[in-house]
Amino acid sequence: MRIPLPVFFLTSFLFFSGLIVASGCGGGSSMTQPPVNPGPPGPTSVALTAVVSGLTSPVDLEMPDDNSGRFFVVEQPGRIKIIANGAVMATPFLDISSQVNFDGAEQGSLGVAFHPNYAATPKFYVNFDRKTPGGQETVIAQFSASSANSNQIDPATEVDLIIQPQPFTNHKAGQMVFGLDGLLYFGLGDGGNGGDPLGNGQNLGTLLGKMMRIDVDHTSPGKQYAIPSDNPFVGRGGLPEIFAFGFRNPWRFSVDRPGQRIFVADVGQNNFEEIDILQKGANFGWNIMEGTHCFSPPSGCNMTGLTLPIFDYSHADGTAVIGGYVYHGTAIPSLQGTYVFGDLTGPVWNLVEGPPGTWTRNTLMSTGRQISSFGQDASGELYLVDLSGSVLKLVAQ
């Protein structure tokens, strides 16, 4: 059932209770890395300072590695705007609104990722929804700039890499990131309509409910991209693009670049929100489980081979988890090495690991904002995206 809110998640709307801590376990070979280190002792006091406002439904904020200092913000109706020198440039970087299917809820233009060597290879990738005669589809498309310094892109440079038909209008996910391996990771939701009625999360024959990994610098026969030879389901019966499965709606995720771990925030159903650390070939449980709790069946579910989240929280705390970043800036020393994230309803938290595999949540602030995403600049400082139209920076108070 759909909640009539101008947002892109199906969840209940409740308030605060206690935290839930879980250690990851279950199948899949992990990207083994040192633990996220807790920050220095003492209280963390943070605030928000305005960067820009006047945006239309912003949902993603990215900074390419081109030393330009530009931020690129995705507006859900189908435009990407540039933030430069503290202001939004008047002309969009990319405008594909004529083909984007924006429904004022979960569909639209949802994410952008820039080639990891954008200065030399000025290509970028957009995740958006497109209307079709029979419904709608997710498109992962490549666009090319004339140079890395270009502030306006010709939409005609579009090359569609992935086209995934969508059975319902919700659970689109939308994030894309390049890993330290130079490969493009992207997530897709389970296809929507509540409870995964089509069983997509556990079906290795569809990209829905999965995290994918592809090589955009090469091609495989019949594709505009290449399949990495060590993807876990190559030659094993599942779709070769799949890197991990069992997700409901992995809306926002990020790479902890010094540590290489990929933190995935998977939006829950009626009761629980979860944070996962991506593991190659792992099954993260949806719709058998919602967070660390049985979902189908509601009790006594078989957890054999499942990888549980590192952390989950109940809908007494919020309605939809918004993934952030491990903080590596210098302006807020007490956040150093901790994972900062939030919820659509406005709270911002961080997770501290210690001992390894055990995570503790701390409340950083209640923003009163409708958080849609976070961003990170070249110095490791963090930014918050408010769906109502603003970008703000996290600063020490």
pLDDT at 257: 84
Q: How is residue 203 written in tokens?
A: 């079906």
Task: Determine the Cα–Cα distance for residues 99 and 67; give it in Å rounded to an integer.
Answer: 31
pLDDT of residue 259 exceeding 90, the answer is: no
Residue 1: pLDDT band by 50, 70, 90 thresholds?
very low
Statement: 20-396 belongs to CATH 3.20.20.70: no
Q: What is the mean pLDDT of residues 22-35?
A: 36
Instruction: Name the strand (E) or helix (H) holding 58.
Output: strand 58-62
Closest CA to 325 of 350, 307, 354, 344: 350
Burial code (b: 16+ CB inside 10 Å, e: under 16) for 162-193 equals: bebebbbbbbbbbbbbbbeeebbbbbbbbbbb
Report the phi/psi class of residue 86: left, alpha or beta, with left for phi > 0 and alpha for psi in -120 to 50: left
Tens digit of each residue's pLDDT (9 = 90 or more) over 264-282: 999 999 999 999 999 999 9
The pLDDT confidence band at residue 43, using thresholds 50, 70 and 90, is: low
The residue ranges of every structural domain in the chain are 20-396
Convert the pLDDT of each residue in 82-114 to its tens digit.
999 999 999 999 999 999 999 889 999 999 999
What pLDDT is recorded for position 34? 40
Tokens linked to 305? 């081979």
* DSSP, residue by residue, 342-383: EETTSEEEEEEE-STT-EEEEEEEE--S-EEEEEE-TTS-EE
Chain segment 334-379, per-residue pLDDT in tens = 999 999 999 999 999 999 999 999 999 999 999 999 999 999 999 9
- Taking phi over 0 as left and psi of -120 to 50 as alpha, with beta for the rest, 291 belongs to left
Q: Is the pLDDT of residue 12 over 80?
A: no
C-alpha 394/C-alpha 397 separation (Å) is 9
Q: How far apart are CA 178 and CA 157, in angstroms?
A: 21
**pLDDT-derived band at 23, boundaries 50, 70, 90:** very low
**Three-class secondary structure of residue 42 per DSSP:** coil
List of residues 6+ apart from 328 with CB closer than 8 A: 257, 258, 336, 337, 380
pTM passes above 0.75? yes
